[in-house]
Amino acid sequence: MKQSIKPRPQIDLLADGILQGNRMMLSQAITIIESNLAEDQKLSSGLLDKIIHATGNSIRIGITGVPGVGKSSFIEAFGKYIINLGKRVAVLAVDPSSQLSKGSILGDKTRMEELSKNSAAYVRPSPAGNKLGGVAHSTYETILLCEAAGFDIIIVETVGVGQSEVSVKNVTDFFLLLMLAGAGDELQGMKKGITEIADALVITKADHDNVKHATAAKAAYQQALHLQPLARSGWIPGVLTASAHTGEGIGEIWKLILSFTEQTMSTGFFHDNRRQQGMEYFEDRFKSILYSEVENSPALQAEKEKLKHEIQQQKISPTRAAEMLLIAFHREAGMRKF
């Protein structure tokens, strides 16, 4: 048989580049990780193995809020503030529009423009997961890559839609919820469940005529949060006002995050939580690749369609159909080599 001489992807080179903070190689690696091609997925785990020892040394911050709350402006102001403290910041912006365009281009190119140009910052639009505004499986791995590339602060931004906040919470240390003052109880109430998982609530656009409103909203939320059960972390969520425009409150938010990490590191929660997140990612990933063997097998897909048809005709129960698909799965798996 003729030996294949097609150029092998330079995993070692890529890993070295990332560990040296090479942003172009980081981008390349993230693209590989986001790809669903079997070949790329193989590369991904090889790459992750080579950088895994250099991960974990960041603060992972999830930021969410409804459209119009000023997420981009806030992240830009906050990012520049911590860069001035000598930190390096990576922003993974989960872009729901990518769902529609089937790509991962940030529609509005002017978003976080200044931050994007800063050499201490790395802004990367991330493809949304299955659901609008969701977090893709690759987000967890992208965080690891950014840590290996030396970023001290990883911000995962998501639009406040559906279950996305929960997914962001599952891959971050600190969860920050941005809110508008005076947007009406109607609007705020709908996002109320999230306040229970937030480590801080920030009332944005607290400038000019809006300061009074924002201060009132802050007091109202402090009151409301008071009624919530204490979080597993033992941390009492902070409520702050901020303005991306005047810079008001940005420093306080950073201080709050630092006192959160200090407190939760001393209680052990910080690392316990990270460990648990890693274990959950492992389990989710396993289930996902296990199930994708069914999705990727034409024979099993045909079997599945046949079974669905029989369920519809009430010939078999969904329970029995599931068992029959499992038998087909093992038959099929037994015919392949591992």
- Judged by CB, which is closer to its own copies: 72, or 277? 277
Q: How far is the CB of 288 from its own copies (least distance, A)?
A: 8
- Judged by CB, which is closer to its own copies: 224, or 236? 224
Q: How far is the CB of 235 from its own copies (least distance, A)?
A: 21
Give CB contacts under 8 A, 24+ apart, made by 264-268. Answer: 264/173, 264/233, 264/234, 264/235, 267/233, 267/234
Q: Are 173 and 155 in contact (CB under 8 A)?
A: no
- Judged by CB, which is closer to its own copies: 48, or 120? 48
Q: How far is the CB of 293 from its own copies (least distance, A)?
A: 8
Q: How far is the CB of 331 from its own copies (least distance, A)?
A: 7
Q: How far is the CB of 245 from its own copies (least distance, A)?
A: 29
CA–chain centroid gap for 206, Å, is: 27
- Judged by CB, which is closer to its own copies: 113, or 284? 284
Q: Are 257 and 251 in contact (CB under 8 A)?
A: no
- Residues at the interface with its own copies (CB under 8 A): 44-45, 48-49, 52-53, 55-56, 140-141, 144, 185-186, 188-190, 192-193, 224, 227, 275, 278-279, 281-282, 285-291, 294, 307-308, 311-312, 314-323, 325-327, 329-331, 333-334, 338
- Judged by CB, which is closer to its own copies: 114, or 185? 185
Question: What burial class does residue 279 get, using C-beta atoms within 10 Å of its C-beta: 0-12 exposed, 13-18 middle, 19+ buried?
Answer: exposed
**Two structure tokens written together for 22:** 């090479």
- Judged by CB, which is closer to its own copies: 120, or 166? 166
Question: Among candidates 279, 207, 190, which has minimal Cα distance to 247?
Answer: 207
- Judged by CB, which is closer to its own copies: 42, or 255? 42
Cβ partners under 8 Å of residue 317, min gap 6:
311
- Spatial separation of the C-alpha atoms in residues 98 and 126, rounded to whole Å: 8
Q: How far is the CB of 271 from its own copies (least distance, A)?
A: 10
Q: What is the CA radius of gyration of the chain?
A: 23
- Spatial separation of the C-alpha atoms in residues 56 and 147, rounded to whole Å: 6
- Judged by CB, which is closer to its own copies: 67, or 286? 286
Q: How far is the CB of 242 from its own copies (least distance, A)?
A: 24
- Judged by CB, which is closer to its own copies: 75, or 92? 92
Look up tokens 């938010």; give the residue: 253
Q: How far is the CB of 66 from its own copies (least distance, A)?
A: 13
Q: What is the largest CA-CA distance in the chain?
A: 78
- Spatial separation of the C-alpha atoms in residues 132 and 208, rounded to whole Å: 34
Question: Among candidates 114, 108, 104, 118, which has minimal Cα distance to 74?
Answer: 114
Q: How far is the CB of 65 from its own copies (least distance, A)?
A: 16
At residue 253, what is the residue type?
I
The H or E element spanning position 26 is helix 23-34
